[in-house]
Amino acid sequence: MLSLLRSTLTIMTPILFAAAGGLFPALAGSLNIALEGLLLIGAFASLTVFYFSGSVPLAIIAAAMAGTLLSAIHAFAFIKLKANNIIAGLAVNLFSAGLCIVLSDKIFNTRGVVTTPHAAGSGLVSFYFVFAVILLAVIWVVINKTPFGFRLRACEKNQEALVSLNIKPQAYNIVSILISGFLCGIGGSFLSLNLGSFVPGMSAGKGWIALVVIYLGAKKPQGVFAAAFVFALAEAFSNYAQGMFRIPADFVLAFPYICTLIAMIAVSTLKSSRQ
């Protein structure tokens, strides 16, 4: 039971960071589908810095900066150049995956797994998880109790009111995307530092699940936490069941996504019945 809970928290942690980051653009009225690529670039940046420095704090900072930089490119394309947001987000995901492989080849002379000679130390899961929980609490306060939060939500619901107050909605959209990259980068650092290596594609759909978590959680920090826990528990249980029962591996791997689909259908049905 304890091993299942620990596995759940391990799976849940990067999803929480990605969902926390994606929550800001969602509240501003734009869907950031680049979370997957932001997690991946954060994982690679943190592992690279940790490989040469052996410092966890520096690795986390590098991951946050890498995610923010990639989000700045996304924001420039989407906000300033008026590119389609979905296409821009997909481009970020594809660019991130390719960039990590190219940089890995140049820096480590390999396009595969990169392993660090340093140990990140014990308690990494606990540190990141507690950090994520505190972060969600802070986000709740920011969203519900500060002028920034009120104006951010107004970007989706009433942009005309912001403009009448001489407030630029575009500025809040840009900031929300940058925050998204910053937090996703930190979530990506957990992936590589906890494993002690970088594996191409190691984000493994967690950015996409984070998007679902945001909307199933009704764009609320507490809802995000609950939804992330459910999906992490489903994935942890599927891994546990693979060793305990004779279940086809393909079904085990697909189980978390099946749960995601069922949850989306259930929530949509519930909303329709209330209307």
Q: Residue 73 — very low, low, confident or very high, per pLDDT cuts 50/70/90?
A: very high
130 Cβ contact list (under 8 Å, min separation 6): none
159 in a structural domain: yes
Q: Using pLDDT thresholds of 50, 70 and 90, give the confidence band for residue 258.
A: confident
Is residue 256 one of the residues assigned to a domain?
A: no
Asked whether residue 217 carries a pLDDT value surpassing 80, the answer given is yes
* 240 part of a folded domain: no
**CA gap 275, 273 in Å, rounded:** 6
The string of pLDDT tens digits covering residues 263-274 is: 767 766 766 666
Whether residue 172 is contained in a domain is answered as: yes
Looking at residue 177, its pLDDT comes to 95
- Give residue 96's domain range: 2-204
Please check the confidence at residue 182 and state whether its pLDDT lies above 90. yes
Specify if 48 maps to a domain.
Answer: yes
Instruction: Measure the CA–CA gap between 155 and 173, rounded to whole angstroms.
Output: 8
pLDDT value at 237 more than 80: no
Structural domain tally of the chain? Answer: 1
DSSP 32: -
Tell me which of 85-99, 171-185, 195-209, 227-241 is least confident. 227-241
What is the pLDDT confidence band of residue 241, given thresholds at 50, 70 and 90?
A: low
Q: Average of pLDDT values for 163-167?
A: 81
3-class SS of residue 236? helix
Residue 253 confidence (pLDDT): 66
Q: Does residue 44 lie in a domain region? A: yes
pLDDT of 61 over the 70 cut: yes
What does the alpha-carbon distance between residue 224 and residue 29 come to, in Å, rounded to a whole number? 17
Instruction: Indicate whether 239 belongs to any domain.
Output: no
**Is residue 98, in this structure, part of any structural domain at all?**
yes
